[in-house]
């Protein structure tokens, strides 16, 4: 979600003073009214990689969204072709009975995929069900075949890992900071823009709940609790995704470990690999 301009607080973008010192790519590249896909991410990422390589600089790809990182490392899993009739039927079913009904269907036929797909992720829920109807196989089984391929890049993969209780505490603190930093005002300004937010931007964790709050559906206190809950669920899904990654060098981080200490551990790890 850092690709979206003016969606700053809820996406925890690096502070402006940091971005003045260090060149970042793929931040603030699209308007909140636009859709964004993994395919577009890969196109932009490949362009950025070429730019960095031309300057003979080292490339550091950083992120927490496992789907995008996996696509960068292993390529994009396209799956079988599409069927407009099946997709239209699923879209109609979602409108008539609600997206939750489709999510429950997906959970029955492919519980592995529901570990990685959020309940609000309309596009991926419908696509997974479409593939099942087309092939008779869950998308997770097809992805496992795809996962057997070699990585596209000879990169060192480093993962930071914390105890679940520590991670949950950090999530709760982060949500408090987002609210205090002005998340509600940021969402108000986005909603007031001439072009409406894309469905993708509206569903972003932190923004979806705040929009419900501003529409009078829930209180700010309830919205904050929902953001915490949905972020914890998202983190659980990401941990599931990361288990499918190969050759990850995991660093187990202590609760009170500073960024400087983590960096020191990372440098030691890289030197040992060399």
- The angle subtended at Cα 78 by Cα 99 and Cα 51, nearest 5°, is 115
Q: Is 215 within the bounds of a domain?
A: yes
pLDDT grade for 143, boundaries at 50, 70 and 90: low
Same domain, yes or no: 180 and 257: yes
- Asked whether residue 6 is assigned to any structural domain, the reply reads no
Whether 36 has a pLDDT exceeding 70, the answer reads: yes
CB < 8 Å & 24+ apart, contacts of 256-265: 262/160
**DSSP 8-state class, residue 4:** B
Q: Give a yes or no: residue 218 inside a domain.
A: yes
Section 84-111 average pLDDT = 90
Report yes or no: 201 and 1 within 8 Å, Cβ to Cβ.
Answer: yes
pLDDT, tens digit, 9 for 90 and up, residues 101-111: 999 999 898 88
* Angle value at C-alpha 12, between 67 and 199, nearest 5 degrees: 60
31 plus 107 within the same structural domain: no
Per the structure, the complete domain to which residue 218 belongs is given by 16-75+152-273
Q: Which of 100, 124, 146 is the last residue of a domain?
A: 146
41 token code pair: 């991410």
Within this chain, do residues 51 and 114 fall inside the same structural domain, yes or no? no
Domain annotation covers residue 242: yes
Q: Please tell me whether residues 43 and 156 are part of one structural domain.
A: yes
Strand duo 157-161 + 248-252: pairing:
parallel
Examine the domain organization and report whether 140 and 22 are in the same domain: no
Average pLDDT over residues 68-94: 82
Would 9 be classed as within a structural domain?
no
Q: Check whether residue 167 and residue 256 sit in a common domain.
A: yes
Task: Answer with the residue of higher pLDDT: 40 or 112.
Answer: 40
CATH number of 48's domain: 3.40.50.300
Report DSSP letters for 101-149, one per residue.
Answer: HHHHHHHHH-HHHHTTS-TT-HHHHHHHHHHHHHHSS-HHHHHHHHTTS
CATH number of the CATH domain containing 112: 1.10.20.140
| Same domain as 141, residue 208 | no
Same domain, 254 and 166: yes
Q: Kindly tell me if the per-residue pLDDT of 45 is higher than 60.
A: yes
- Domain end call among 146, 173, 191: 146
Which of the listed residues 116, 146, 176 is the one where a domain comes to its end?
146
Mean pLDDT of all residues belonging to the chain: 89
Claim to verify: residue 29 and residue 88 sit in the same structural domain: no
* Extended beta strands in the chain, E state: 157-161, 248-252
Question: What's the number of domains the chain is made of?
Answer: 2
Shared domain check, 137 and 194? no
Let me know whether 53 and 132 are in one domain: no
Tokens representing residue 5 in the block: 């301009």
Distance CA 62, CA 18 (A): 15
Same domain, 64 and 191: yes
Q: How far is Cα 225 from Cα 54, in angstroms, rounded to an integer?
A: 46
Q: Which long-range contacts (CB under 8 A, 24 or more apart) does 139-146 make?
A: 139/79, 139/110, 139/113, 140/110, 140/112, 140/113, 142/77, 142/79, 142/80, 143/77, 146/74, 146/77
Per-residue confidence (pLDDT) for residue 71, from 0 to 100: 82
């Amino acid at each position: 979600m850092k690709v979206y301009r003016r969606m700053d607080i809820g996406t925890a973008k690096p502070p402006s003073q940091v971005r003045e010192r260090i060149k970042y790519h793929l931040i603030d590249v699209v308007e909140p009214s636009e859709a964004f896909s993994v395919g577009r991410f890969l196109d932009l990422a490949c362009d950025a990689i070429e730019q960095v390589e031309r300057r003979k600089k080292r490339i550091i790809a950083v992120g927490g969204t496992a789907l995008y990182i996996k696509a960068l490392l292993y390529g994009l899993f396209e799956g079988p072709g599409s069927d407009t009739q099946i997709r239209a039927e699923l879209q109609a079913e979602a409108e008539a009975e609600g997206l939750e009904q489709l999510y429950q269907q997906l959970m029955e036929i492919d519980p592995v995929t529901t570990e990685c797909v959020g309940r609000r992720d309309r596009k991926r829920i419908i696509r997974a069900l479409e593939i099942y109807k087309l092939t008779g196989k869950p998308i997770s089984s097809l992805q496992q075949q795809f996962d057997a391929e070699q990585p596209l890049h000879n990169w060192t993969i480093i993962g930071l890992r914390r105890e679940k209780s520590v991670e949950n505490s950090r999530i709760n603190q982060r949500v408090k900071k987002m609210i205090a930093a002005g998340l509600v005002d940021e969402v108000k300004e986005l909603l007031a823009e001439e072009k409406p937010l894309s469905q993708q931007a509206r569903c972003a964790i932190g923004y979806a709940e705040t929009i419900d709050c501003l529409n009078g559906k829930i209180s700010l206190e309830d919205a904050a609790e929902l953001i915490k809950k949905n972020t914890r669920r998202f983190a659980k899904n990401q941990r599931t995704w990361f288990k499918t990654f190969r050759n990850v060098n995991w660093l187990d981080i202590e609760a009170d470990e500073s960024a400087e200490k983590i960096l020191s551990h990372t440098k030691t790890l890289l030197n040992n690999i060399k």
